[in-house]
Structure 1
Amino acid sequence: MRSYVTTLIPLAVLLGSVGWVYQDASAHARRGIHIYFSVESIELSKPATWALGCLCLWIVFLPLYLTCRRQAS
């Protein structure tokens, strides 16, 4: 039972933060404020792209999103 809890808590944090990133980026986009990041051929500007990045590589994309969000506001 305990191993399920130690697996479910990080999974819930991951999915919750991915959902928040998508919702927050969508809300900003509706107001005309796009959270944007670009380096060479990589471009992050759509809510789905931010959410997918957070889902795949959370430890990199969540702090990057928060930084870009602060600069966009």
Structure 2
Amino acid sequence: MSILVLLVVLAIDVWVYADAKERLRRGNPVAVSLGSFRLETPEAWFLGCLIMWVVFFPLYLTATGRNPFAHSRG
């Protein structure tokens, strides 16, 4: 079971990298500043998600406007 979870997380990390790379190619990079720390390259997003998925994946979704945790106010 834990190997399956790791594979799913790794697949999501690869998706984040590919999505961030495509957005950068189109001239719309995903960038977030946390104090003096700045995430803006596909590689930085991939490493962030790889190291601390539970923090960086929701942050990526929020930065791209795909926040599944936000409630719509219809």
TM-score after normalising by structure 1: 0.86
Show structure 1 runs of 4+ deviating over 6 A. Answer: none
Matched residue SS, 2:58? helix
Return 5+ residue gaps in structure 1 as ranges: 1-5
Q: Which has the higher helix share?
A: 1
User: CA shift at 1:7, angstroms?
Assistant: 2.0
Instruction: Report 1:1-73 matches (<5 A).
Output: 6-70=1-65
User: CA shift at 1:8, angstroms?
Assistant: 1.4
**Separation in 1 of the partners of 2:9 and 2:34?**
25
Higher relative contact order (CA 8 A, sep 6+): 1
Identity %: 42
User: CA shift at 1:27, angstroms?
Assistant: 0.3
The aligned counterpart of 1:3 is none
**Separation in 1 of the partners of 2:13 and 2:41?**
14
Question: Per-residue CA shift, 1:30-54, capped at 9, x if unaligned?
Answer: 0000101002110000000000000
TM-score after normalising by structure 2: 0.85
